[in-house]
Structure 1
Amino acid sequence: MNWKRYVLLVAGLAVLHAGPVRADRAAAPQQLDEVVVTATGSAKELLDAPGAIEVITAREIRDLNALNVAEALETAVGLVVSRESGRVEAPGIRGTRSKHTLVLLDGRRLAFGFNDQVDLRQIPTVMVERIEVVRGPASALYGNDALGGVVNIITRKAPEQWHGTVTGQAGVNISGEAAEYAGSGFAGGPVTDRFRFLVAGELRHKDGWDESGSLPDDGYEEEPGFLAGRAAFDLTDRQTLTTGLEFMDTVYTGDQFYENLARERRADEKRRGYFLQYDAGFRSMDRLMVRMNRSEYENELEFTPFAASGERHTEQATTQAEARYTGLFLDGHLVTLGAEYRRDGLDDTLAGTRTDRDVDNISLLIQDEFHLSDPLYTVLGIRWDDHSAFGSQWSPRGSLVYRLSDHLRLKGSVGQGFRAPSLTELYVTSLRKRGKEVFESDPKLKAETSTTWELGIAGDHGRYRGGVTGFYTEVEDLIESVFLRTEGSGKDKRDIYRYRNIAEATIKGIEAEAGVRLPGGFSLDGNLTWQDVEDRAGEGAVGGLPEYKGYFKLGYELPDWRLRANLRMSYIGNLTYADGNSESYPLFGAYVAKGLNERFEIFAGVNNLFDKQVEQNDVVQIDPTTVYAGITAHF
């Protein structure tokens, strides 16, 4: 571990904080109003937003001590973060696979990473303001990849008053392994009346660990680093130019058995993002947004001793230009018009074989929000995408929100989603299971499509809130790997697969969530999802997905003492793997924070309180009991 990096990070942020800060900013961050933008692209109160949508606030993230977005989504309704090949942690919504969830950063697309996934471990929460999760297809607004839903990670904007936060913490698991150290912070404020900025950074180190004593290591050594900036310039009172960048660099090092030999695996994964955005407001409801976005991913994978088929260099990039105009027409129709051009590129070199491909996507969309009657709010939308690899796709959606009372809404929707085959599935031959399986590409693949119907009721009143939603989804042309043949024998034996559009599935389920503020500073919140996934191609239930997923939290807050605490439980029920094995388990965690004064707060907690152990395909799915403690300073 390089202690100098942590010292430099904290010292640098402290210098930035030494500007004209105000003491009243030292208090805890403000509570956010429950306003969402991901459901329609325009701001809506959560209760009035069409469809099933959830907000995870910065405070909820802090009370989980979630250092990255994967950990922050522990509480989400109907969403499961699973560990994929290469230990990637990616979200799946409503029984769909992780490739069917579109991950956005401030509404911007991210380039795909390892095995066409966006690894949520690589996105820290240091500058996250909230996370909005849309359950159900959202391709009518966002196009490709939004077949199962959308996770939109919304970061802090450049603030109009100077403030910032610095946090340092350390932790270790119950065996004395996997020691972790983290330092993070952000600071920003106005430079002039029209110009303001924000900077954020994080450095972490986590030791590898291996309780089993056999390969692969249970946990790899991790060294993540993160740096980001935002700047905003008010051209006029109604026009703003915003720009920003992100840089993420994570090195993973650990031992595993690859091509029948014990080797050290080292992966250096980098993410870079840049954007420039123009926003203008003309009349009370008229808005124009024009944005240029560039997202890049790079991975250098190598083994020691050298493995020719294991050395791999991958670069993926997404270049995106989009414009959206929202205006009020005909005394009651809020219409959104949008256009987008996107180029996705892949440069992949494996064992000396290079694949260099690009695909283009052009899209147009229109959405109309209006009231059919005083209590009945309607959203109709459709998007057309033209993809250079497989052709065009129409994605319609319709939603209704019926106002039963001031505090109660009845919601229904039907929509379609799609996922275009990835560049890897179209053009790249890849290796899995430590080189024992070869997956061949197919340039003739079609897009996967889905149709979802849902109906729900949601409300809040005083100390109470709750809601229930039922959904039914049909998915067609699922891309699966089909076994072709076996080559070689003994230690050189390999199974050959090829991607094909062969599968269909139906998914049905019920989502319930509720919360109540109890006397004495206590609160109780929870959610539970039941889902049933059936493969209509005759394979039975789809493996790797739980039938039940729940989350429950008992919270406590005593403001006069600056004290907060919670005890929480996550539940996975009837998780059935592809080999037919099934298991259920709860995970418990606890957290406590005590403010020393307006500026300083200490905290401590424990994850996986009862040391539940889950392993699948020789990969540990859950870290052992881990304790941590730290301190936060507000400026």
Structure 2
Amino acid sequence: MPPAEASISGDRWSPRLTVGLTPLEGFQLYGTYSEGYRAPGLQDVYRGGGAHGGGDSYQPNLLLQPETAKNWEAGINLRYDDVLAAGDLFRAKVNVFHTAVEDYIDVDLTVLPRTAINIGDARLKGIEAEAVYDYGWGFVNLAGALIDAKVVSGVYSGQALNNTPLDRFSATVGFRMLEDQFTVGAQYLSVGKITRTSRTNPDAPPVVDEGFDLVNVFANWRINDHAKLDFGVDNVFNTAYTDPQSAWSTTAATEQGKGRTFKVALTGRIGG
């Protein structure tokens, strides 16, 4: 490839406007319009994909354009106290969104040498909801989302976006004790179907795998005002699954998701 002058510097104003309306106490309607800007990173420009990002099969691309996005959101916020008993609280939020991304950056695997390019435009839309009920000595949290994310133009038009959130649902229950200094709980997480598409052959039919369900447990101990101990076990039942956030999940059902994982963290603060 002959040498060429190139620049990846740039700037952009990204406005954000939110309008809210509270017709009743504890009930709020809102709408948001915002624009986003993502400049190409070093991983995009120089690596271009591949296991090690080297060799003659991959070329850097100093001519990448930044991604720009326009996003619309609308939703409802609920906020109520003393619902079932004195001192309890209920919070909930429902949000619908539509995001259009121009000049989406991905690796073109249909040709050699391979390189990251602005493959076209992408679109994400969906609905998210979350509710929490806190009753002092415990809490319940429910959250879920239905999301559709795909490429709408270019070489991969019609294919699902890689490494984007999928349909999911979670339920978390926790209990407090020892004057709220010790909290224990459990979480159930369910992720919907995973669609894998071939980047080397855009015409190949997608592979759809069933989703997965995980159970996690956790405990938090506030030892004093300066120290806290956190303990958790993710994937308690050691379920085999493929993490949709991993690039591997776009090529093969490798079931490389983390197995049973133990986590311990001790946090301390010195001084006031």
- Smaller-chain TM-score range? 0.7 to 0.9
Q: Which residue in the other structure is 2:215 paired with? A: 588
Q: Which residue in the other structure is 1:523 paired with? A: 139
Q: How many residues align?
A: 239
Shift of 1:535: 1.6
Q: Which residue in the other structure is 2:201 paired with? A: none
Instruction: Assess, with a 3 A threshold, how the Cα gap between structure 1 residues 594 and 431 changes in structure 2: closer, same or farther.
Output: closer
Contact 1:544–1:575 (Cα < 8 Å) also in 2: no
Shift of 1:529: 1.3
Instruction: Assess, with a 3 A threshold, how the Cα gap between structure 1 residues 480 and 598 changes in structure 2: closer, same or farther.
Output: closer
The partner residue of 2:152 within 536, 539, 557 is 536
Contact 1:544–1:578 (Cα < 8 Å) also in 2: no
The partner residue of 1:478 within 84, 95, 104 is 104
Q: Which residue in the other structure is 1:253 paired with? A: none
Cα distance in 2 for residues equivalent to 1:403 and 1:472? 23
- Consecutive unaligned residues of structure 1, counting only runs of 5 or more, are 1-358, 360-387, 487-495
Residues 477-486 or 608-617, more deviating: 477-486
Instruction: Assess, with a 3 A threshold, how the Cα gap between structure 1 residues 511 and 603 changes in structure 2: closer, same or farther.
Output: closer
Cα distance in 2 for residues equivalent to 1:584 and 1:416? 32
Name the SS for the 1:393 alignment partner.
Answer: coil
Q: Which residue in the other structure is 2:50 paired with? A: 432
Name the SS for the 2:114 alignment partner.
Answer: strand
Cα distance in 2 for residues equivalent to 1:397 and 1:561? 39
Shift of 1:471: 0.4
Identity of aligned residues (%): 23
Supply the AA of the counterpart residue of 1:474: A
- Consecutive unaligned residues of structure 2, counting only runs of 5 or more, are 1-5, 82-88, 199-205, 243-247
The partner residue of 1:504 within 121, 129, 136 is 121
Q: Which residue in the other structure is 2:237 paired with? A: 610
Write out per-residue CA displacement over residues 41-84 of structure 1, whole angstroms, 9 at most, x where no aligned residue.
xxxxxxxxxxxxxxxxxxxxxxxxxxxxxxxxxxxxxxxxxxxx
Cα distance in 2 for residues equivalent to 1:408 and 1:542? 35
Contact 2:49–2:107 (Cα < 8 Å) also in 1: no
Write out per-residue CA displacement over residues 503-533 of structure 1, whole angstroms, 9 at most, x where no aligned residue.
21121110101011247x2310121111101
The partner residue of 2:188 within 569, 581, 585 is 569
Shift of 1:534: 2.4
Aligned pairs for 1:294-333 (under 5 A) are none
Name the SS for the 1:457 alignment partner.
Answer: strand
Aligned pairs for 1:376-395 (under 5 A) are 389=8, 391=10, 393-395=12-14
Instruction: Assess, with a 3 A threshold, how the Cα gap between structure 1 residues 436 and 457 changes in structure 2: closer, same or farther.
Output: same
Write out per-residue CA displacement over residues 386-432 of structure 1, whole angstroms, 9 at most, x where no aligned residue.
xx636553433322121233422211011211222234544x35562
Shift of 1:498: 2.2
Supply the AA of the counterpart residue of 2:235: N
Q: Which residue in the other structure is 2:3 paired with? A: none
Write out per-residue CA displacement over residues 9-58 of structure 1, whole angstroms, 9 at most, x where no aligned residue.
xxxxxxxxxxxxxxxxxxxxxxxxxxxxxxxxxxxxxxxxxxxxxxxxxx
Q: Which residue in the other structure is 1:441 paired with? A: 60
Name the SS for the 2:63 alignment partner.
Answer: coil
Cα distance in 1 for residues equivalent to 2:215 and 2:90? 24
Contact 1:530–1:549 (Cα < 8 Å) also in 2: yes
Name the SS for the 2:176 alignment partner.
Answer: strand
Contact 2:47–2:53 (Cα < 8 Å) also in 1: no
Write out per-residue CA displacement over residues 439-485 of structure 1, whole angstroms, 9 at most, x where no aligned residue.
32233322211111110111211111101010011111112222464
Instruction: Assess, with a 3 A threshold, how the Cα gap between structure 1 residues 408 and 621 changes in structure 2: closer, same or farther.
Output: farther
Q: Which residue in the other structure is 2:167 paired with? A: 548
Contact 1:555–1:567 (Cα < 8 Å) also in 2: yes
Instruction: Assess, with a 3 A threshold, how the Cα gap between structure 1 residues 528 and 509 changes in structure 2: closer, same or farther.
Output: same
Aligned pairs for 1:372-411 (under 5 A) are 389=8, 391=10, 393-411=12-30
Instruction: Assess, with a 3 A threshold, how the Cα gap between structure 1 residues 500 and 518 changes in structure 2: closer, same or farther.
Output: same
Shift of 1:602: 6.6
Normalized per residue, which structure has more helix?
1
Contact 2:47–2:54 (Cα < 8 Å) also in 1: no
Instruction: Assess, with a 3 A threshold, how the Cα gap between structure 1 residues 502 and 562 changes in structure 2: closer, same or farther.
Output: closer
Normalized per residue, which structure has more strand?
1
Name the SS for the 2:12 alignment partner.
Answer: strand
Write out per-residue CA displacement over residues 253-307 of structure 1, whole angstroms, 9 at most, x where no aligned residue.
xxxxxxxxxxxxxxxxxxxxxxxxxxxxxxxxxxxxxxxxxxxxxxxxxxxxxxx
Cα distance in 1 for residues equivalent to 2:261 and 2:99? 38
TM-align CA RMSD:
3.4
The partner residue of 1:418 within 32, 37, 41 is 37
Q: Rg bigger for which structure?
A: 1
Supply the AA of the counterpart residue of 2:141: D
Contact 1:549–1:573 (Cα < 8 Å) also in 2: yes
Supply the AA of the counterpart residue of 2:233: V
Q: Which residue in the other structure is 2:84 paired with? A: none
Name the SS for the 1:440 alignment partner.
Answer: coil
Write out per-residue CA displacement over residues 565-607 of structure 1, whole angstroms, 9 at most, x where no aligned residue.
1111233212223343333112211123567788887765422
Cα distance in 2 for residues equivalent to 1:609 and 1:553? 14
Cα distance in 1 for residues equivalent to 2:119 and 2:77? 38
Write out per-residue CA displacement over residues 529-571 of structure 1, whole angstroms, 9 at most, x where no aligned residue.
1110122122332244343133321010124484321111233
Instruction: Assess, with a 3 A threshold, how the Cα gap between structure 1 residues 604 and 439 changes in structure 2: closer, same or farther.
Output: same
Q: Which residue in the other structure is 1:330 paired with? A: none
Shift of 1:620: 6.5
Q: Which residue in the other structure is 2:258 paired with? A: 623
Contact 2:73–2:95 (Cα < 8 Å) also in 1: yes
- TM-score, normalising length: structure 1: 0.34
- TM-score, normalising length: structure 2: 0.72
Supply the AA of the counterpart residue of 1:504: D
